[in-house]
Structure formats: C-alpha cells, structure tokens
Amino acid sequence: MKERLERLKIIKSLIKAHRIDSQDTLLQLLSEAGYSVTQATLSRDLKYLKVGKVADGQTGYYYTIPSEEERKESEKHFFQDFLRGYVSVDWNDSLFIVRTFSGHSDSVALAIDNMGLEEILGTVAGRDNVVLIALKRGCKGEDLVKSLKERMPEFDSE
C-alpha cells in the first residue's frame, strides 16, 4: 500500500512537470524514477487519480491532473449517485451486493468504480436493481463498509 501511495505521488509530480502524451512515455519516466510497473497497473493508477487528456491546440493531447477542487466536486457527484440509488448492502467472504432502486444499478456501479476503493477488484451492474462487487483477496465486506462510511458519513449499511 505504501509503495502505491508513493507511486501515485510520483505520477502526479511527473504529469505536472512534463508534457506527457502517452502511457509509454509515463512508464519510461516512472522507470527512470525507480518504479517498475505494468501498463495495466499504470492504467488503474491513472483512473484512480482521475487523470485526463487535454488538447495542446497543435500537436495532440497530453495528460493532466484535475485540481483538488475539481476532484472533490466530481467525487461529490459520485457520492450523491450512490446514496440516491442504493437500498441495502450485504456480503459474504468474497462478494459484496448492493441492492438499488429500480433503474439505478448502472449509476451506482459507476459511482463505486470511480471512488477508487482499495478493497474492490471489480463491479458488475445488474440489469435493474443489483450491483455485484468482487472483493480483493484478503478484504472483507466489513472493510468495504468502513471505507464507504469514511467517504460518505451518511451511508447506512444497516
């Protein structure tokens, strides 16, 4: 976990310091900084950091990090989508189920995916009113509930 947090800080500083136009370039810069990661790991890190690409107006696109204010505003919308759509939660050793109001499973799953919670391996939105969450090895439903409550104090798992 500590290594990931350090890597995320390095990625942010590299994107702020350089005009990076591809993951290959970023992987090279990370390697030079002493971090050996796969392209898949880098993609997850970029998603977690909410990195986007913006046009430079002439030659193409480059990576950019949203401001803290933009990130918090975006995160607030995801929290609202989750809280507006969920009905209840339950779990076993490896799966976590979120029951949603009819028609809300897609928006709740998208909100969960964009929260970047460490405990989550992946989500699958049901057709109408359920979201299936696969937990990472070693994580428990109680861990996910704790993370959700830390992020959204108004979340009620009962």
Q: What is the pLDDT of residue 2?
A: 58
- Per DSSP, the residues of 72-118 read HHHHHHHHHHHHHHEEEEEE-SSEEEEEESTT-HHHHHHHHHHHT-T
Domain hosting residue 145, numbered range = 69-151
CATH of the domain at 53: 1.10.10.10
Task: Compute how many other C-beta atoms are within 10 angstroms of the C-beta atom of residue 94.
Answer: 14
Q: What is the pLDDT of residue 27?
A: 94
Query: In which band, very low, low, confident or very high, does the pLDDT at 67 lie, cut at 50, 70 and 90?
Result: confident
CB 151 within 8 A of CB 116: no
Find all residues with CB under 8 Å of 58, minimum gap 6, and list them: none
CATH of the domain at 116: 3.30.1360.40
Identify whether 73 is part of a domain: yes
- Average pLDDT of the chain is 88
24 vs 56: which has the higher pLDDT: 24
Asked if 140 and 79 sit in the same domain, the reply is yes
Q: Which pTM was predicted? A: 0.62
98-122 average pLDDT score: 91
Residues in the chain: 158
Asked if 82 and 55 sit in the same domain, the reply is no
Tell me how far apart the alpha carbons of residues 51 and 16 are, in angstroms, rounded to a whole number. 11
Identify whether 157 is part of a domain: no
Tell me how far apart the alpha carbons of residues 113 and 108 are, in angstroms, rounded to a whole number. 9
Residue 94 has pLDDT above 90, yes or no: no
Identify whether 156 is part of a domain: no
- Per residue in 12-49, pLDDT tens? 999 989 989 999 999 999 999 999 999 989 988 888 88
1 vs 15: which has the higher pLDDT: 15
Asked if 88 and 146 sit in the same domain, the reply is yes
Asked if 50 and 27 sit in the same domain, the reply is yes
- Per residue in 129-148, pLDDT tens? 999 999 998 999 999 999 99
107-113 average pLDDT score: 91
